[in-house]
Structure 1
């Protein structure tokens, strides 16, 4: 242990670990909304930042790998009876261990804000994090070997730049299964909160990282040119094994779903409001606002009686879902802390569309629909751009067309105006054009 302690103090291991920790924690907290929904999102975001941490570990290893050349003690150590492999163990342990601990601390820094029991925890978090740790250890080992093989001053920075390019471009290469093997950040782009990384993908990239680590170790301890040439074999064998076990199925490779995280969790009382398990922490804030929206829709006969979070995995071609007109499907907006963003907009979101999910291929008149929605809400039509912060653009003519229609509705007797709004709702359900329905009496 004294040897390892000395190695930590005198080598670049501790400095590299502190730098990795600073970079990782800073990257996490620059955009906390990307992982604040839960543990798996945190693990995936941390893995995505291997585009920064993996090259850093590679460069740090390369810098350390040229230490004997820099100190000009290579011939001196060669003359000692102690095997080189034994002498290099403290170096490997210090560098790999320090960077592994740094990665764990990065994840822990994010996890400190997810300790509430309302945040969904999945074993996938442990697997995804473990692969991230392994990737940094592999980068450090490979860097040590390459630093010894090419002990030039420029090796470390060149490897750092090359590492960024390798991690990024291998993540977007085709075919997808090859990208899943080569890059530790593959599959970390998140499209929905209940997303995960398939176990087969984690197994494949783990094999590849272990192979790279073994190659680096062989390069570091090799005593002759033949041994150094043989160092490529572990990488080739590992690549072959990884490509043999990696899934080929597109849905498994691209944004797969954690079925438990996608399960709906609902309020105990009616009207039912349900969210996916991964977002159950917002159910308490969502329910009263969603019920206010249902109360507005209840003015119409046959109105929906429940609100469910939209749990569609659109990357898996789940656009076409069975329609249930008793349920309003709602897309949640979450803030940077994983809570419900813009609660007052929930009422509008529930009423918008008049409580039905019409077919997007059917004729739609957004000005008519907005006027009908505004009449139910009892307020003048407002541009979505001014109402919903996420909306950045809307044709000015849309609201300008909706306002006169809304004013005309307000001049009608309530029963007549409601009948026209119901006619618009029924037309959406039956895939009929809604144009003109607010301007004439409903049949």
Structure 2
């Protein structure tokens, strides 16, 4: 049995698996900035590209099925003493195992890129990855079954196009978000914030439906008559019914993971914390945070700790307002899995003199906040790492208006006596803490 499985794997499994690995790993490498923040980001990105992987798997299954037909060995196999179901199971195991392992291999290859900094691996990420592998296996088996029913040269490309059209268009036929999510394992997997996750019940519902499609493919392969093949509709219907029952209907397809938002802090003081999703970046953030706290020490009642801002626009019911003793900052992860533009962290932490405007319903004066932080750092306001000193060369593109205004306010502060400039910076900080209006606080007519 193992020898036959090995033979089937080499004949049927390896070509499709190699294609999926090359296509999947290459595509994810190109868009690595989408998933470099962590394991859940990587898994959700791979799930997004099931929109391509599943049609490819269907086409691979149909192409492999035609190989056996083209070789003219169907009658030869039928005359062997080995039962039909054993031959079918061997083929299914070879094809399904190969494409499933290909999905895992893509995660392993791309995961090595972020392994040094990705420390948070939730169970939901493993479940979401398993659903992706199951969806590809079901697609390959379906292609194998349809390819044996219609072993023509055009079957594989037609199924690839049809599969792509279905996985793109089918979710749009529903009005409810949960229905679209159940209809397509790739739907809604774009991760806008690193704290997003795929709930376990969503993955369970999608897995049940994918298993139903896989079972239908097995029935199509095993059945010898059209009446028996019609029974393939039963596992699909059962999977759909169970999937609808399991799928949560009361919230979005993706939610915020509170565990990913929990702080991970330094053991010594001054305390610096990042979200658990970014725990591997704590050592990179800490030096910049402590430098910012040292510069803020010249203020009255200065902040004594720095914490990553975990507020998200997707979860407005849990907005956190940070107190005067805390500097809240955002962590941006680059395509290499490390902090993006680490030199800008100091400027972000000094924004509005270390007062977090995170959670302010109407935002805060960007220019005033940048200018106050720049005065404390003694450096020109910086927000865009490529904007330089904001000096516009002849024929050049003017920088954003906030940057121009921040530079003007900063230059005005530098001309004032230190005590007066410090008083105005403190006023901006107090306004930010109260979500107040900072306009005019740094201008020459400010009182």
Same fold (TM over 0.5): yes
Q: Structure 1 stretch 166-175 or stretch 50-59: which is displaced more?
A: 166-175
> Over the residues paired in the alignment, what is the CA RMSD in angstroms?
2.8
Aligned equivalent of 2:392 = none
CA distance in 1 between counterparts of 2:236 and 2:426 reads 66
Aligned equivalent of 1:99 = 99
Shift of 1:361: 4.8
Say whether residues 1:241 and 2:245 are aligned partners. no
Secondary structure, aligned partner of 2:166: helix
Instruction: Give the conservation status (yes or no) of the 8 Å contact 1:352–1:373.
Output: yes
Q: Decide whether aligned partners of structure 1 residues 118 and 48 sit closer, same or farther in structure 2, where only a CA change above 3 A counts.
A: closer
Say whether residues 1:439 and 2:425 are aligned partners. no
Q: Decide whether aligned partners of structure 1 residues 226 and 123 sit closer, same or farther in structure 2, where only a CA change above 3 A counts.
A: same
- C-alpha offsets along residues 216-260 of structure 1, whole Å, 9 cap, x if unaligned? 111112111101222112111111111111111214x22x23333
Say whether residues 1:413 and 2:412 are aligned partners. no
Aligned equivalent of 1:428 = 432
Q: Decide whether aligned partners of structure 1 residues 81 and 397 sit closer, same or farther in structure 2, where only a CA change above 3 A counts.
A: closer
Q: Structure 1 stretch 141-150 or stretch 322-331: which is displaced more?
A: 322-331
User: Pairwise mapping of residues 216-365 of structure 1 onto structure 2 (< 5 A)?
Assistant: 216-251=217-252, 253-254=253-254, 256-318=255-317, 320-358=319-357, 360-361=360-361, 365=365
CA distance in 1 between counterparts of 2:415 and 2:443 reads 12
Q: Structure 1 stretch 226-235 or stretch 189-198: which is displaced more?
A: 189-198
CA distance in 2 between counterparts of 1:81 and 1:192 reads 57
- C-alpha offsets along residues 304-363 of structure 1, whole Å, 9 cap, x if unaligned? 222111212422335733342322221112122211222211110001122223465558
CA distance in 1 between counterparts of 2:22 and 2:373 reads 49
Instruction: Give the conservation status (yes or no) of the 8 Å contact 1:37–1:119.
Output: no
CA distance in 2 between counterparts of 1:399 and 1:102 reads 48
Aligned equivalent of 1:180 = 181
CA distance in 2 between counterparts of 1:191 and 1:362 reads 21
TM-score normalised by the chain length of structure 2: 0.88
CA distance in 2 between counterparts of 1:202 and 1:297 reads 46
Instruction: Give the conservation status (yes or no) of the 8 Å contact 1:312–1:318.
Output: no
Q: Decide whether aligned partners of structure 1 residues 369 and 311 sit closer, same or farther in structure 2, where only a CA change above 3 A counts.
A: closer
CA distance in 1 between counterparts of 2:341 and 2:386 reads 13
Q: Decide whether aligned partners of structure 1 residues 381 and 174 sit closer, same or farther in structure 2, where only a CA change above 3 A counts.
A: same
Q: Decide whether aligned partners of structure 1 residues 17 and 433 sit closer, same or farther in structure 2, where only a CA change above 3 A counts.
A: closer
- C-alpha offsets along residues 56-91 of structure 1, whole Å, 9 cap, x if unaligned? 111111122334543455566667776533332222
CA distance in 2 between counterparts of 1:311 and 1:352 reads 17
Secondary structure, aligned partner of 2:327: strand
CA distance in 2 between counterparts of 1:398 and 1:115 reads 37
- C-alpha offsets along residues 147-193 of structure 1, whole Å, 9 cap, x if unaligned? 12222321111111222233334456542211222222234311222
Shift of 1:365: 4.4
Say whether residues 1:28 and 2:28 are aligned partners. yes
CA distance in 1 between counterparts of 2:434 and 2:108 reads 52
Q: Decide whether aligned partners of structure 1 residues 192 and 381 sit closer, same or farther in structure 2, where only a CA change above 3 A counts.
A: closer
In the alignment, structure 2 segments of 5+ residues that lack a partner are 389-396
Shift of 1:96: 1.1
Shift of 1:298: 2.6
Secondary structure, aligned partner of 1:314: coil
Secondary structure, aligned partner of 1:275: strand
Aligned equivalent of 2:7 = 6
Q: Decide whether aligned partners of structure 1 residues 35 and 409 sit closer, same or farther in structure 2, where only a CA change above 3 A counts.
A: closer
Q: Decide whether aligned partners of structure 1 residues 30 and 426 sit closer, same or farther in structure 2, where only a CA change above 3 A counts.
A: same
Q: Structure 1 stretch 345-354 or stretch 63-72: which is displaced more?
A: 63-72
Say whether residues 1:158 and 2:158 are aligned partners. yes
TM-score normalised by the chain length of structure 1: 0.88
In the alignment, structure 1 segments of 5+ residues that lack a partner are none
Q: Structure 1 stretch 98-107 or stretch 180-189: which is displaced more?
A: 180-189
Q: Decide whether aligned partners of structure 1 residues 243 and 209 sit closer, same or farther in structure 2, where only a CA change above 3 A counts.
A: same
Secondary structure, aligned partner of 1:308: strand
CA distance in 1 between counterparts of 2:310 and 2:428 reads 27
Instruction: Give the conservation status (yes or no) of the 8 Å contact 2:263–2:274.
Output: yes
CA distance in 2 between counterparts of 1:34 and 1:101 reads 23
